[in-house]
Amino acid sequence: VTVEDAALRLYRALARAFPQEFRVAYGADLADATEDAMRDAMLRGGRLRLVWLVPRLFLDLAVRVAVEQVRDSARDARYAVRLLTRAPGFTLAAVSCLAIGIGLTAAMFGQVQSTVLAPVPGVRDPHSLVRLQAPVPFDTYERMKADTTAFAAQAAFLGPVPLALSFDGGEARRHWGQLATPEYFDVLGVQAIVGQLFGSGKPTADASPVVVLGHRLWQTRFGADRSVVGRVVQINGQAVTVIGVAPAGFVGASPMTAAADLWIPTSTAIHIAPELRQLRDPRVTTVVVLGRLMPGVSEEQAELALDAVVRRQERLMGDPGRQSDEPRVRVLPGGRMFPIRTEDLPRAIGFPLVLVSLVLLMACGNVANLVLARNAARRREMALRLSLGASPGRILRQLLTESLLLAGVGAAAGALVALWLLSVFESARPFVPGYVQYDVPFDWAALAYSALLAAASTVLFGVVPGLRAGRGNIQGGLKPAPPSGLGARHGLGLRNVLIFQQVTVSVVLVLLTGFVVVGWNRAASVDVGFDPVNLYFMSVDPVRDGADPDRARDLVQRLRQRLVETPGVVAASVAQSVPLAMSGTEMVMSVRADLAAGSTALSATRVDRVGAGFFETIRTPVLSGRAFTREDERDDARVLVVNETMARRTWPGADPLGQTVSLGDQAWQIVGVVGDIRSAFPLTPTLPAIYQPVTPAAFALPTRDGVTLTVRTLPGFDVPTVLTREARTLDPNLSVSVRPLSEEVEQALFLARTATVLYGGMGVLGLILASVGLAGVTAYAVTRRTREIGIRMALGARRADVLWLVLREGAAIAAAGTVVGVAGALGLTYALSSVVEALAETTRTSMADPILLIGGPALLMLFALLACYLPARRSTRIDPKTALRAE
Amino acid sequence: MQEVLVRTGGKTRLWPATLYGTLRRLIEEGLIEEADTLRDVNAADVRRRYYRLSRRGRRALTEEIARLEDLVRAARVKGRALKLGESS
């Protein structure tokens, strides 16, 4: 074998890459011409000349192959566009299915990516940052810092706390801030853009309190003035020096709770930040601990180390719960916007992702079905083209081009749907408490992923059957379709499977979303234990407004009296922490109940302080004993009211009245039992609760720890204005905020409502997709059987008979799919409930709801039958003469 | 190919794949057609296929020649004008 031969052989092999038509027409000539050229070159200049010629021949070949291929593809694409525009119904249905599936998936993934998985903005190396799930006493934090080696550095913070900022005699405005230990910024890896942050090594003297400003605050209130460093401003009425500004984007270590705009060291004096009052109390959990893990240390190792510290503390303190084996601390990724452990992610995002996957699955199934129906209807066209000399490869290529074009348009439409959905999510955000502004990046990866999946299903179902048609005998395809009903089942198996899958998945989707929506609505409508209608919270903050403690105490007392006497006010009372508010203080403490038989430790008990007349005002029934009176509002009062849950759990079958409970080192006596008040998120179970009477000292504390007045009014007048006016008559400088309780309840239910809309929407989408699929299959059946129907009608079949004939197939599949779907939905809900706790809680009752279990599938069947009926109606309009002439 | 090389004085070499690509395009545009009968029987080679200008191709060629001649003429006039301009 000579070199020339080898080159020529290679050339011929490569020339196969030309499109088939070109190869057939010119392949042989091309090879000959090349051989001639090579021989000619050999004759003229021998091998040397060949060395010059051969590379150029190959280059020429490569360029031409590319050009011819592109030309062919362009032609295919033009043809495909023409075909798709000629079948607008099919194109619209397929593209909208793809768009819904792709768009929803991309939007959901984008949302998850930007909320749950996003890093906390502005921090360095978020992966090695951890935090403790629950706050710990400051004392414990200091022990953790001293006794563990798992961390390169640790810090703690307290917050969000409201801080009133004023300067140059201007108006005081409140901002959310955090009280942080000096290591805070170092641990987070945040550098000052102006001045310095208080962790920068230099210990700050207690004599001159300092503050670090957030970038947003620096821009909005100080006009981004760099000379702000060293300036003295007023915080909560006290002089504080600005030492630096944090970089743009950084809003604290827990942006989902509240974006912080100010940072003050925990070493600051208490009168600037009254929240620090309980910092040194070893029994009160105050600070959130942050840590930067040492390289090579895992979260689990850190958790064990911290757990040991807490247990040691408990032993030292003689904590009643010290014998318990339960883990004391939980380390969470501190660098994530939603501090969720990786292994817990399925709990947080599993359910919505399963729903989205179902929608995507339906969309893919739908498109597959549509494409199959269309290609089946084109069997004759394919056969004709094959018989006219088109190669199977050529037809395959054409089908591939069509499928890809469809998928491409679908993906583009899907991107638009995703962008629209994201903007909807974005606009819904401000209602979420603790909202932080951050960008939702468009998730290209998710878009690409879902588009790829959709394209794969389009291509798979668009091309594979075409391939079969290509291999099948031409004669069979060219012949008119056999009179069906006799042997025309052929080729429909796959389609029936698809439509069955469609109905099943949509039943699952509708039921699953139905369970959640109904469950949530039910949870939201449970008796909250109080009457929020015409109930208002009024918060005043005389200390922050500059009053001294004595005056503040007096002011609150007089205000309460004045409100009670105001016309239109039914009742008014004070509470130090409000058990109704979702955003209220929730203190979970360990307390000990002293029983006749000994003592028992209680944990996870909510402790609130409320004033005289509180339960009457909010209309929570006193079940036994009494509620608080004015006489109980003393510093040395040792009386308690407990809720029903507490009474039932701690003293089952016994009378709780007169029992004692140890709080800290003092014994308190129970004087009353009140009904349960459901607070926070409607799904969380009611905790045992203890109510202590407020003390006059609390009246002088600022809002977060101070008092809120609870006012019940008559309906029909502008309550906020009247109440504010009354307060201002006592002190014209008092800042007052009045908000209706119904608003709080709304806010607490916001998540449930959002979920209702979101999941309900998905269910509806699924229904639409399923209907489109069923309509498609019936329409196809009608087309396929036109001739048969014509014969039947010519022979005297009635319209109803014909209608049933056509409907039968769709109805049977729909019925089978519904049965399997109901089973699947129940199974999937059980399976998911074991992973997602909230889901189990939500669907506990709704899963057995007969209206849902029967009504849901029935509705779907109705839709399915309608979807079958509409195209089937066409069959009854078939003119026997035309039908028989067809084909 | 050889003929093209010779006719253009060795300036243009027509490579085989390019040749057939061009032939295909010319046929698609209707400028040439396959010839059934051979004008030059002596040169006939059974393996070869022959193409000739179609009527449309002939017209296109005539028009193209005319266009190019016009272009050359225009260029010459302009060139002379430029030369005159330079000398004066």
- At A34-63, the pLDDT tens digits run 888 888 888 887 778 888 888 888 999 999
**What is the pLDDT at residue A483?**
43
Is 50 exceeded by the pLDDT of residue A303?
yes
How do A666-674 and A622-625 pair as beta strands?
antiparallel
* Residue from A29, A36, A49, A72 whose CB has the most chain B CBs within 10 Å, to mutate: A29
| Token pair belonging to A263 | 């940072």
Query: What distance in Å separates the CA atoms of residue A151 and residue A171, rounded to the nearest whole number?
Result: 43
Chosen from B3, B6, B14, B15 to mutate, greatest number of chain A CBs within 10 A: B15
- Can you point out the beta strands (E) in A50-170? 129-132, 151-166
| Mutation to test the B interface, candidates A44, A64, A68, most B Cβ within 10 Å | A64
Q: How far is CA A90 from CA A95, A364, A865, A868, in A?
A: 8, 15, 20, 16
| Chosen from B20, B22, B25, B46 to mutate, greatest number of chain A CBs within 10 A | B20
- A64 contact residues in B (CB cutoff 8 A): 17-18, 20-21
Q: Do residue B21 and residue A68 have CB atoms under 8 angstroms apart?
A: yes
Nearest neighbour of A29 by CB, restricted to B2, B18, B49: B49
- A185 has pLDDT over 60: yes
Measured between beta carbons, the chain B residues lying within 8 angstroms of A19 are: none
Residue A862 contacts B where some CB pair is shorter than 8 Å: no
Our CA-based measurement puts residue B8 at a distance from the nearest CA of chain A, in whole angstroms, of 17
Strand, helix or coil for residue A366: helix
Among candidates A494, A588, A572, A577, which has minimal Cα distance to A536? A572
pLDDT-derived band at A490, boundaries 50, 70, 90: very low
Residue in B15, B20, B47 nearest the CB of A56? B15
Is A33 part of the contact surface with chain B (CB cutoff 8 Å)?
A: yes
Residue B66: pLDDT above 90?
A: yes
| Comparison of pLDDT for A238 and A835, the residue scoring more | A238
Inter-chain CB pairs, A–B, below 8 Å: 44
Q: What is the dihedral of CA A489, A490, A496, A498, to 10 degrees?
A: -170
Listed in sequence order, the residues at least 6 apart from A63 whose beta carbon sits closer than 8 Å to its beta carbon are B17, B18
Q: Within the 53-112 window of chain A, which residues sit less than 8 Å (CB to CB) from chain B?
A: 56-57, 60-61, 63-65, 67-68
pLDDT of residue A45: 78
Are A63 and B17 within 8 A, CB to CB? yes
Nearest to A30 among B2, B20, B47 (CB): B20
Flag the least confident range among A52-66, A637-651, A698-712.
Answer: A698-712
Q: Nearest chain B Cα to A65, which residue?
A: B17
Minimum distance, in Å, between the CA of residue A22 and any CA atom of chain B: 8
Of A723, A435, A692, A345, the closest CA to residue A566 belongs to A723
Please report residues of B whose CB lies closer than 8 A to that of A56.
15
pLDDT surpasses 80 at A569: yes
Residues of B in contact with A61 (CB under 8 A): 16-17
- What are the φ and ψ backbone dihedral angles of A292, each rounded to 5 degrees? -105, 110
Cβ(A22)–Cβ(B24) below 8 Å: yes
Q: What's the predicted TM-score (pTM) here?
A: 0.64
Quote the minimal CA–CA distance from A30 to chain B in Å. 6
Residue % of chain A over a pLDDT of 70? 80
**Shortest alpha-carbon distance between residue A34 and chain B (Å):** 6
Contact B21 A37 (CB under 8 A): no
A584 falls in which pLDDT band (50, 70, 90)?
Answer: very low
Name the pLDDT band for A596 (thresholds 50, 70, 90). low
pLDDT (average), residues A333-360: 77
Q: How many CA atoms lie within 13 A of B44 on its CB side?
A: 9
Q: Give the distance, in angstroms, between the CA of residue A191 and the centroid of all CA atoms in the same chain.
A: 32
* pLDDT band per the 50, 70, 90 thresholds, residue A749: low
A501 burial type by CB count under 10 A (0-12 exposed, 13-18 middle, 19+ buried): buried
- Retrieve residue A92's tokens: 């619209």
Considering chain A, what is the average pLDDT of its residues? 78
Residues of chain B whose C-beta is under 8 A from some C-beta in A?
1-2, 15-21, 23-24, 47-49
Distance of CA A455 to the CA centre of its chain: 26
More confident residue, A566 or A733: A566
DSSP E strands in B3-87: the ranges are 32-34, 51-53
Name the minimum distance, in Å, from the CA of A382 to any CA of chain B.
Answer: 24
8 Å CB contact of B2 and A25: no
Least Cα distance to A561 among A425, A314, A727 occurs for A727
Lowest mean pLDDT among A430-434, A826-830, A836-840, B73-77: A430-434
Chain A residues near residue B49 by CB distance under 8 angstroms = 29
Residue type, A82: R
Whether residue B18 and residue A40 make contact (CB cut-off 8 A), yes or no, is no
CB contact under 8 A, A15 and B17: yes
pLDDT surpassing 80 at residue A33: yes
pLDDT over 60 (residue A703): no
Q: Choose from A125-129, A157-161, A375-379, A646-650 the range with maximum mean pLDDT.
A: A125-129
